[in-house]
Amino acid sequence: MAEDGKKDTLVYKQVLVTYGYVTLWIFLSATVIMYNKWVLSFSGFPYPVALTLWHMFFCSALAFGVVKMGYVETINMSSETYLKAVVPIGACYAGTLWLGNAAYLYLSVSFIQMLKALMPVAVFVVGCAFGTEKYNGGTLVNMLIVSLGVAIASFGELNFVVIGVVLQMCSICTESTRLVLVQILLQRRGLKLNPITTLYYIAPCCFGFLLLPFAMLEAPKIMNDPSVVFSPAVFISNAAAAFALNMAVFLLIGKTSALTMNIAGVVKDWMLIGLSVLMYASPVTPLNLGGYFIAFLAVCLYNYRKLQSMKKAPPVASKDELQSASDPELRPLNTSK
**Of 157, 168, 145, 136, whose CA–CA distance to 263 is shortest?**
145
Amino acid 60: pLDDT: 92
Q: What is the mean pLDDT of each run of 10 residues along the chain (337 residues)?
A: 61 75 85 84 85 92 89 80 85 88 76 79 84 79 84 75 87 90 72 77 91 91 88 92 82 65 69 79 77 78 69 50 33 31
Cβ of 71: how many Cβ atoms within 10 Å? Answer: 9
pLDDT score recorded for residue 3: 59
Predicted confidence at residue 215, as pLDDT, reads 93
3-state SS, 72-93, equals CCCCCCCHHHHHHHHHHHHHHH
pLDDT at site 209: 94
pLDDT digits (tens, 9 = 90+) for 46-104: 888 999 899 999 999 999 998 888 887 777 788 888 888 889 888 998 999 888 877 77
DSSP 314: P
pLDDT at position 86: 85
Confidence (pLDDT) at 335 = 28
